[in-house]
Amino acid sequence: MMAAKTRALICGVSGQDGAYLAKFLVGKGYEVFGTSRDAELSSFANLRQLGVLDRVHRRSMSLMDFRSVLTVLSEVQPSEIYNLAGQSSVGLSFEQPVETMESICMGTLNLLEAVRFLGKGIKLYNASSSECFGDTGDHPADEQTPFKPRSPYAVAKSAAHWTVANYRDAYGLFACNGILFNHESPLRPPRFVTRKIVRAACAIKLGQEQSLRLGNLGICRDWGSAEEYVDAMWRMLQFDRAEDFVIATGQTSSLQEFVKAAFDAVDLDWSRHVEFDNALTRPSETSFSAGNAAKASDALGWQAKSQMRDVVRMMVDQELASMSIG
């Protein structure tokens, strides 16, 4: 008799991280299940692009509906759950604060309650966020750095983070938070500024556009590779105890440096094509964000291999290839 495969459930499998994680887990020999709000209508384009659409069992599930969550968990019987669902845009959270709070915080609470109710020793990974820290200042944030959220998205992520920690302490659940700093890939939706920059640089290079309008170019972020960061998620659930981990490259760059890297990759001078637009600035903004992933390195054996320029080059190459095919 062959041993049964380990079952994993990815909530939010249609997104960037969900798709890369699905591919990673399939490669590990997992039986992978993935959810979206309506699996009948979702295109799962990212899974198709990564070549794993037929290897993922898709289910409809709304994290806002406890019965829906409980039904899917009871049917799938996963050993591991990865909660990557919920509203994922910081900018959009200022326009949709209620939906952001409900989809992230209440969705996480429903998932934790279902895991507790079933009582089957399910391990849970929750996608926390570096946005919870706000401005990190001169010292890169680690697991002990206080949260000072500066957006509705960050407030929601902070609430979900502490809800996970509370359920871990109060009920003994194997539940952990991955505090991931910014991580990008060719699968980023165009509404994210990183993909917007890459698309514009490629379109300008091909003569399809003339300029790019952006907000504050002075903000600084620690940008890494989404494909590498899902490995860290998995390692957290293989650790001998449930703990929270910061995942970052340790290198911080300004948005202007990101823009320059994208335009350099297509042999263009960014300053000749980028225009400032005050309408694109946010009501409140995290100016400087830096992460210290020493704990993940020591405990999980995980370290970032790609830095910002590596990620930008990968995104540009894929964008140019897609535009050429189109």
Active site residues: 129, 131, 153
What are the phi and psi torsion angles at 175 (to 5°)?
-135, 130
**Residue 180, strand partner residues:** 129, 247
**Residue 215 in contact with residue 254, Cβ under 8 Å?**
no
Q: With 0-12 CB in 10 A as exposed, 13-18 as middle and 19+ as buried, what is 196?
A: middle
Kindly compute the dihedral angle of the four CA atoms of residues 151, 155, 157, 161, in this order, to the nearest 10 degrees.
Answer: 150
Residue 60, SS3? strand
Closest CA to 104 of 91, 80, 117, 88: 88
- Cβ partners under 8 Å of residue 229, min gap 6: 17, 178, 180, 183, 247
